[in-house]
């Protein structure tokens, strides 16, 4: 019988969707505040960063714009601030949040590798489609002057 740390693994039903559940539960998960990549793994945090990229906003504006609860937005902003992706400044009693462009740079650079890959892929697809289109054109259908 497989063992988990401290207790035996017992399947909940005869059909187990994830037979390796006992392994997954034992593996530690990186903290969301450990680095920028873990922080942006959450889609709502990426949405917050996108909203704050254009200009700074107070928490209330983020709540309304993204239709999230205030505690959730505050928690996400805290994580983003802890890893340096968001900066905060006081304006009287309000706190205004904005994206820290310098901290986003490593993400941009990393994603840039894939952008170059996809551009090459799309260029190859375009060339293949154009050559296939030219080869299937009927001589009578070709534009004048060619």
Q: Please, how many CA atoms are within 13 Å of residue 146, restricted to the half-sphere of its CB?
A: 9
* Mean predicted confidence (pLDDT) in 22-38: 66
- In this predicted structure, the answer to whether residue 109 has a pLDDT above a threshold of 50 is yes
Top pLDDT among 15 and 82 is at 82
Model pLDDT, residue 46 = 95
Burial class (CB in 10 A: 0-12, 13-18, 19+), 115: exposed
Express each pLDDT in 60-93 by its tens digit: 999 999 999 999 999 999 999 999 999 999 999 9
Q: What is the pLDDT of residue 132?
A: 85
Stretch 3-8: mean pLDDT: 50
**Long-range CB contacts (within 8 A, 24+) of 48-51:** 48/73, 48/76, 48/77, 48/80, 48/86, 49/80, 49/85, 49/86, 49/99, 49/104
Looking at per-residue pLDDT, the higher value among 30 and 9 belongs to 30
Give pTM, 2 decimals. Answer: 0.62
* Whether 107 contacts 46, CB under 8 Å: no
């Amino acid at each position: 019988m497989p063992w988990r740390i401290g207790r035996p693994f017992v399947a909940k039903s005869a059909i187990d969707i994830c037979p390796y559940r006992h392994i997954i539960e034992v593996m530690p998960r990186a903290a969301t505040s450990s680095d920028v990549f873990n922080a942006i793994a959450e889609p709502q945090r990426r949405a917050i960063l996108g909203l704050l990229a254009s200009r700074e906003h107070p928490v209330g504006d983020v709540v309304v714009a993204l239709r999230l609860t205030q505690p959730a937005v505050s928690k996400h902003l805290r994580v983003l601030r802890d890893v340096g992706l968001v900066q905060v400044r006081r304006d009287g009693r309000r706190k205004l949040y904005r994206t820290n462009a310098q901290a986003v740079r490593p993400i941009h650079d990393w994603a840039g590798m894939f952008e170059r890959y996809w551009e090459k892929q799309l260029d190859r697809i375009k060339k293949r489609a154009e050559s296939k289109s030219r080869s299937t054109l009927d001589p009578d259908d070709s534009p004048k002057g060619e």
